[in-house]
Amino acid sequence: VIACPCALGLATPIAVIVGVGKGAQEGILIKDAATLQKLHKVDTVVLDKTGTITKGKPEVVEVAALGGASEEDVIRILAALESKSEHPLATAILAYAKERSVGLEAVADFKAIEGKGLQGVLGGTQYFAGNMKLVTGLGLSIDEVSFAEKTSKGWTPIMLATKDAVVGTVFVADSLKPESVMAIKQLHKLGIRVVMLTGDDRRAAEAIAKEAGIDTVVAEVLPDEKLNKIKEIQAEGKVVAMAGDGVNDAPALAQADVGIAMSTGTDVAIETAGITLLNGDMGKLVKAIRLSRVTMTGIKQNLFWAFIYNLIGIPIAAGIFYPFTGWLLSPVVAGLAMAFSSVSVVFNSLRLKAVKL
């Protein structure tokens, strides 16, 4: 009777169930028990920039026309190209064009260029829109001094070019989420290294990282390079959690030990990740890690309560003291001990509901 292992079977699953429920109350949706258990080992958190650290609601702050083109021409052509894009920065261009009543023209031969931008034909001319990698790949140059001055403010450049020249540059700013700075400070207090991994301009990314207090910045990376960077960090023996919200984050989310998606992000990111944070709240990332650590502590405590009655009771029931003291264990006492071990495990698990994250 005393050897019955009921509590042992309850120790882990009941703590996990309470932990997952507690997470749901806090706006942290956990896909499975394994994800919750892995999260407590995480020592490195990798964050995407746009939509994860920042609000993901970029705004056009400056338009610079070059080579005889007007600002209206730059916006007109860019808006037409970006109307076919799903990138968050495209929404800023389209909103800016709408405010100025700039109509959208038809685009022929549209093509997205992975990690660089896009291209299309308007009025018989082929245009390219995207980042610095796209422009340098075309063999074109820009005014580095003025460019550096703008990007050092955290502004992200979107360049419009033909095969022969840069036509103009639109600078877009995306401010930090209010909770991002505090969340990163709290991650540091938990002993976790924070890395920003983004396809955006390096100077702009470094400016945002400095404002947010991030340890390491890896910028101007393609989607497959994000995946490789996660593998590199894991090869150093680190346990990695990746948080992102875009289509290009999905491979990295799948590779990370724990993938974390923002509910404000794309469906493919949410589907790939093991945890989803409602409202895209960075503060919930810290709570998720704390929840995992508290749950694992609860599991260890449950295992103690599952074993302690047996460890004490089994030798007595086996008669180890009988030759010396005549002690034996009554089946009634054994039954009560078995029941109390199960009750102890359940109540200890339910205690997790009251823990403040």
Catalytic residues: 48
CA–CA dist 127, 121 (Å, integer): 6
The 10 Å CB-count burial string (b at 16+, else e) for 264-303 is bbbeebbebbbbbbeebbbbbbbbbbbbbbbbbebbebbb
**CA pair distance 217, 200, nearest whole angstrom:** 11
Reading the block at residue 314, the tokens are 């089994």
Q: What is the biggest distance separating any 2 CA atoms in the chain, rounded to whole angstroms? A: 105
User: CA separation (Å) from 228 to 112, 205, 241, 250, 280?
Assistant: 22, 19, 14, 13, 25
> 347: exposed, middle or buried (C-beta count within 10 Å: 0-12, 13-18, 19+)?
exposed
For the packed helices 180-189 and 202-212, what is the interaxial angle rounded to 10 degrees? 70
CA distance 222 to 31: 28
Residue 161, SS3 per DSSP = strand
- Residue 176 phi/psi, 5° resolution? -65, 145
Sort strands 258-262 and 156-161 into parallel, antiparallel or unpaired.
unpaired
